[in-house]
Amino acid sequence: MSRKVKLHGWIFWGVGLMLLWGAAVPPAHGEMFHIEVQVILASNSDEGFDPRLLALKKDLLALNYISFQLLGNKGLAMERGKTGRLEVPGGRVMEVTPERFEKGKVILHVKINEGDASLLTTRLRIRDHGTVMLGGPPYRHGFLVLAVTANR
Amino acid sequence: MKDKCKSIHPILGAWFDGELPDHKSRRIARHVEACPACRAEVDRIKALRSLLQDGFAAAVTAEDEALSSLHQRIMKRIPERETKNRKRTGREGPLMSFFRFRRITLPMAVTAMLVAAVFFTIYKPAPSVIKTGSVNDCIVDDLESGGRTVLLFKTHGSAMTVIWVVGNPDT
Q: For residue range B73-119, what is the model confidence (pLDDT) as tens digits?
A: 888 888 777 777 766 665 555 666 665 655 677 778 888 888 888 88
In a domain, A15, yes or no: no
Give the 3-state secondary structure of residue A57: helix
In a domain, A2, yes or no: no
Give the 3-state secondary structure of residue B69: helix
Residue A87 CA to residue A74 CA, distance in Å, equals: 10
Contact call for residues A62 and A41 (beta carbons, < 8 A): no
Query: What's the confidence (pLDDT) of residue A114?
Result: 87
**Cβ–Cβ gap B122/A137 under 8 Å:** no
In angstroms, what is the C-alpha Rg of chain B? 55
B4 CB-near residues (< 8 Å, 6+ apart): B31
Nearest to A103 among B127, B163, B164 (CB): B127
A124 CB-near residues (< 8 Å, 6+ apart): A107, A108, A110, A132, B138, B139, B140, B141, B161
Number of domains chain A contains? 1
Query: What's the confidence (pLDDT) of residue A121?
Result: 92
In a domain, A117, yes or no: yes
Over residues A23-81, the pLDDT tens digits come to 665 554 578 999 999 999 999 999 899 999 998 888 898 888 999 999 999 999 999 99
In a domain, A79, yes or no: yes
Nearest to A16 among B110, B122, B133 (CB): B110
In a domain, A22, yes or no: no
Contact call for residues A128 and A151 (beta carbons, < 8 A): yes
- Decide: residue A84, CB within 10 A, 0-12 exposed, 13-18 middle, 19+ buried: middle
Q: Which of B99, B113, B135, B138 to mutate to test the interface with A (most CBs of A within 10 A)?
A: B138
Among chain B, residues having any CB pair with chain A shorter than 8 Å are 90, 94, 97-98, 101, 107, 110-111, 114, 117-118, 121-122, 126-127, 129-130, 133-146, 148, 150, 155-158, 160-166
Q: Provide, as residue numbers in chain B, all residues whose Cβ is less than 8 Å from the Cβ of A20.
A: 114, 117-118
Nearest to A8 among B94, B137, B157 (CB): B94
Question: Sign of torsion, CA A55 A60 A62 A64?
Answer: negative
Report the candidate in A133, A39, A123, A51 with the shortest Cα–Cα distance to residue B158: A133
- Whether the model clears a pTM of 0.80, i.e. scores above it, the answer is no
Question: Sign of torsion, CA B35 B39 B40 B44?
Answer: positive
Residue A82 CA to residue B96 CA, distance in Å, equals: 48
Range of the domain at A117: 32-151
Query: What's the confidence (pLDDT) of residue A69?
Result: 94
Strands A130-139 and B161-166, by their bridges, are parallel
